[in-house]
Copies of this chain bind each other. A is one copy, B any other.
Amino acid sequence: MNFTISEENYLKAIFHLQEKDGTVTTNALAEKLQTKPASVTDMMKKLSAKKLLNYKPYYGFSLSAEGKKIALFIVRRHRLWEYFLSEKLKFDWNEVHALAEELEHVSSKQLIDRLDQYLGFPQFDPHGDPIPDHKGKIKNVNKISLFDLPFNQMAEVLQVTNQSTEMLELLEHKNITIGTRLEVKKHFDFDHSVELKIKTTTLTISEQLAKNIFVTYEPGA
């Protein structure tokens, strides 16, 4: 099966909305793809005719098993290119997405598998999102917001949800990056700010920042 760039963009967008909100509406999809609801309906008919979507007019739609499988491969391509752009070409976090949005449509499976190998089979993209493997499978990692991390629990920064330049600047200044190991010492009741310990250094970050940082940990450690 080969899909157009448009079909691929729709499949991926539906996948992401499904993941985030559980459900997808015509308007939400139109919004996400910067297009009009009428165009979305057109495409839903097309994708549904190709059995990539379960679709009942006025009832809504969701990816079929086949549709989800394809979406996962597009996500794989997107995230591997993001990793390449960030790791090898030294682009900033906030620059890689737009470029990957184009590169993801070069669909040779062999190309992507070789790229994966060349990059050393990375597990996460520069935003900390998991990269599906060559079978399209996403490894399940239990991640938790830094704000919800239990006290004195050593954890590792996995993902940063907000990717603005402003946030990047702040993280850089605080010396927090993906892979950083840290623990939460306490919460301040007044403004809910969070006290962290990184190695031997103690510092405080805002609630807002803490809620945008996701970490992973083994409850034993």
Q: Report A's interface with B, CB cutoff 8 A.
A: 85, 88-91, 99, 102-103, 105-106, 108, 111, 114-115, 118
Contacts and interface: CB of A to CB of B under 8 A. Distances in A.
Nearest to A115: B89
B89 A99 contact: no
Copies in the complex: 2
A163 B118 CA distance: 25
A118 B88 CA distance: 7
A31 B182 CA distance: 62
Contacts of A102: 105-106, 108
B99 A111 contact: yes
Contacts of A108: 99, 102
Contacts of A105: 102
Nearest to A89: B114
A88 B88 CA distance: 11
